[in-house]
Amino acid sequence: MAKVVSIKEAAEMFKDNMTVMVSGFWGIGAPEKLLDALVETGVQGLTGISISTALVDRGIGKLVASRQLKKAIVSYIGRNTATMEQYEAGDIEVEFVPQGTLAERVRAGGFGLGGILTPTGVGTELEKGKQRLTIDGKDYLLELALKADVALIKAHKADRSGNLVYRKAARNTNPLMAAAARITIVQADEIVETGMIDPDMVMTPGIFVDYIVQG
């Protein structure tokens, strides 16, 4: 059952060496306040899972700039100068995952699947260390589920039961990551009473949400 907490209370849940999923596409749909709070705690050795490392001052990119990530599981690092520098210097480990595979691995983690078979990456260097299976004459790679200790989610609207609504392109990985972590913390632009969101219009059901902070 979701609980509305302060940013300070949320920040107390951040610990060294956690795996953190962070939503957002170039930072759009990322919970910036929660990320600022995470930067402020100074916790270290994090593994970050996100579409990309965004930009130095946006989304998960802030955690690279603050040197809190020891590892990034992402599809792209190119626009974050901090990631590029740390990657070259060997200060951050990067696991490159095709964007669609990343989305499915996160969804699998949240939905109790061990993994999925995707044609993406067959015959490329990403195949290294992975099982290739042929089904009806087509080749697929077995890609394994991803889970996290904490998911940091950005919603437009949340009710007090944790039901979430997103706006436009800010949805991206939010609904997938919300289900895939032990603790899911949502930053909502607006927090409304339970019953104020039409149950047909809910994009992430409250069952996936643990904590809500006012954005």
Partner 1 sequence: MDKKEFIARRVAQEFKDGDFVNLGIGIPTLVGNYIPEGIKVYLHSENGFTHIGPMLENENEIDPELINASDQHVSILPGGAFFDSGVSFGIIRGGHLAATVLGALQVDQEGNLANWKIPGKKTVGIGGGMDLVSGAKRVIIAMEHTSKGASKILKKCDIPLTGLNCVDLIVTEMAVIEVTESGLLLKEIAEDVTLEDVLATTEADLIISPDLKKISV
Q: Which residues bind a copy of itself (CB under 8 A)?
A: 104, 108, 112-119, 133, 135, 138, 140, 142, 144-145, 165-168, 199-201
The partner in contact with residue 81, picked from a copy of itself, partner 1, none with C-beta cut-offs of 5 to 8 angstroms by kind, is none
Sequence-distant (6+) residues with CB within 8 A of 38 are 11, 14, 20, 63, 68, 152
The SS3 of residue 38 is: helix
CA distance 169 to 89: 34
CA distance 170 to 151: 15
Footprint on residues 171-210 left by partner 1 (CB under 8 A):
171-176, 179, 194-195, 199-200, 202-203, 205-208
Does position 76 interact with partner 1 (CB under 8 A)? The reply is yes
Query: Tokens standing for 45?
Result: 């050795």
At its nearest, how many Å lie between a copy of itself and the CB of residue 156?
Answer: 9
The partner in contact with residue 110, picked from a copy of itself, partner 1, none with C-beta cut-offs of 5 to 8 angstroms by kind, is partner 1
Residue closer to a copy of itself, measured from CB, 133 or 196: 133
At its nearest, how many Å lie between partner 1 and the CB of residue 44?
Answer: 24
| Secondary element (H or E) of residue 138 | strand 138-144
Does position 119 interact with partner 1 (CB under 8 A)? The reply is yes
CA distance 10 to 24: 19
At its nearest, how many Å lie between a copy of itself and the CB of residue 86?
Answer: 29
Residue closer to partner 1, measured from CB, 41 or 160: 160
Please report, for residues 51, 102, 159, 175, the alpha-carbon distance to residue 98 in angstroms, rounded to integers and kept in the order given.
Answer: 9, 6, 33, 19
Q: Which of 6, 17, 44, 124 binds partner 1 (CB under 8 A)?
A: 124
Q: Which of 43, 63, 107, 155 binds partner 1 (CB under 8 A)?
A: 107
The partner in contact with residue 6, picked from a copy of itself, partner 1, none with C-beta cut-offs of 5 to 8 angstroms by kind, is none
CA distance 176 to 105: 9
CA distance 40 to 106: 27
At its nearest, how many Å lie between a copy of itself and the CB of residue 9?
Answer: 30
Ramachandran area for residue 27 (φ above 0: left; ψ -120 to 50: alpha; else beta): left
